[in-house]
Amino acid sequence: MENRKSRIIIDDSKDVDGFTLESILPQQLGKIIIRGKLTSFEESFHNSAKEILSLFNCSNINNLLIIFHENKEIEIFEDNFLIITTFIPKRNIEKGGAVYHNDIVDIVALSFHDGNNEISLKPGEKIIFIFRYNFAFGLYFDLTRKTHPNIIYKELAQLYRKVAYADIFNALNKGVIESLINIGWFPFIEIIGREHETLFSSIKENKKELITLWIENSFPKDRIDKLVDKWWLKRQYREKKELITEGINCYINGQYFASISTLIPMVEGLVNTHNIQNVGKGVGYGSSDITNKLNEITTGTFENDSLTLPGQFKIYLDKYYFKHNKGAISGEAVRNTVSHGRAQNESFTKENTLKVILTLDQIWHYF
């Protein structure tokens, strides 16, 4: 451990086994928490973090890692270690290349390095980890000595993305996502990182003109080309390449009637193709058949609390993309109005076409 830049103490009084959930008097029953994931947005974080810093004589730290070894040694790292995230990227990234907030599809594991070697957890060890991301903190602890390190790394990632992308998860709690869905928008994977903030604020302020301006500035032809080029890596999309390409070309040329009419059925077609290729049979024609099957695919690929928001995407498809309009005509460009010829002329806009393209891109990531 000579290069680990840590300090080691042997002190049974600091071998903490949990944190209390309430004040406990002698000889009375009380509850403690022995595994937890807390953010600085939660009141319970502050008392626990303060107690940890005091117990281990730490102050003015951004990142703190404490490992309780089985030999009673407690190893403490204060800021002088690396946090390694294992993530899924949106684009090809060369070795040594810079990674930006909006390059990340999802964070799937977290690990540590001292600059020379990996700081690896072993079965039977306890861990406390406090980290800072921008102006927020996270606290993870597992004091059971029973959790496998691979599970801990996965849970660390769950907490890290909750802090790093706090605005996304806070938006879920505040109903912002529901507001997006009501007008046909969603925090699509392609825009999560920075661009979703513009979309969120424009919708919150009810400024449709800002959404129009954002679309014009953010989605030029070369970006759409790069977005679509990667689709052909997956066979479900390759099978529909000619149809999809024609729909995309119509979008680029401003032919939104033709683009939407061509691309809208592709959600159903891609899910059906995926099922045929994987289990040998198609999916029913009902909207619930399609969204249930896609949800089965997405939750098999990503966790429900991942940045890809698979549970919320099913809600988006059910409430918007496959919604049933009972009126004779409709101003929305969704599957049922377009396929049955009931959408009005004003439904075929650049904005509505982009929603369809981003929906197809979202599904690409799930496959």
Domain boundaries, the chain: 7-164, 174-366
What pLDDT, on a 0 to 100 scale, did the predictor assign at position 59? 80
3-state helix, strand, coil in the chain (%, to 5): 50, 15, 35
What pLDDT, on a 0 to 100 scale, did the predictor assign at position 241? 96
> Which residue bears the tokens 């994987």?
278
What pLDDT, on a 0 to 100 scale, did the predictor assign at position 160? 95
The residue among 311, 314, 302 whose CA lies nearest residue 271 is: 314
The residue among 85, 68, 87, 84 whose CA lies nearest residue 76 is: 68
What pLDDT, on a 0 to 100 scale, did the predictor assign at position 202? 79
What pLDDT, on a 0 to 100 scale, did the predictor assign at position 188? 94
Token readout for 109 is 């594991």
What pLDDT, on a 0 to 100 scale, did the predictor assign at position 1? 45
Coil/strand/helix, residue 333: coil
Token readout for 280 is 């040998």
Question: For the chain, which residues score pLDDT lower than 50?
Answer: 1
What pLDDT, on a 0 to 100 scale, did the predictor assign at position 329? 61
Indicate yes or no: pTM above 0.85: yes
DSSP track, 189-250:
TTTTTTHHHHHHHHHHTT-HHHHHHHHHHH--HHHHHHHHHGGGGSHHHHHTHHHHHHHHHH
Coil/strand/helix, residue 53: helix
The angle subtended at Cα 145 by Cα 302 and Cα 163, nearest 5°, is 40
pLDDT digits (tens, 9 = 90+) for 79-120: 989 999 999 998 888 888 888 888 899 999 999 999 889 999
